[in-house]
Amino acid sequence: MARPIQRVENYTTPALVMGFVNLIWVFGVIWVVWGLPAVMLTGLAMNYAITFLERRVRNR
């Protein structure tokens, strides 16, 4: 017997907040270990990767 479809909670905001928190601590660790230039290069690489994925999804 099928159950009726119910509303579910929207976890988008908590997921984005936790993603931001994780990004901050990872950048902090990279900064402590290798310095600010490594953090900047990591951010640049992530920017290029996100842009690449965005274009790939948009072209589908």
Which pLDDT value is given to residue 42? Answer: 98
Residue-wise burial string across 20-42, b where 16 or more C-beta atoms lie within 10 A, e elsewhere: eeeeeeebeebeeeeeeeebeeb
Specify the pLDDT at position 58. Answer: 95
pLDDT of residue 2: 83
DSSP code per residue over 1-60: -PPPP------HHHHHHHHHHHHHHHHHHHHHHH-HHHHHHHHHHHHHHHHHHHHHHHT-
**pLDDT value at residue 30:** 98
pLDDT, residue 5, reads 87
How far apart CA 56 and CA 6 sit, in angstroms, is: 33
The predicted-structure confidence for 1-58, as pLDDT tens digits, reads as follows 788 888 989 999 999 999 999 999 999 999 999 999 999 999 999 999 999 999 999 9
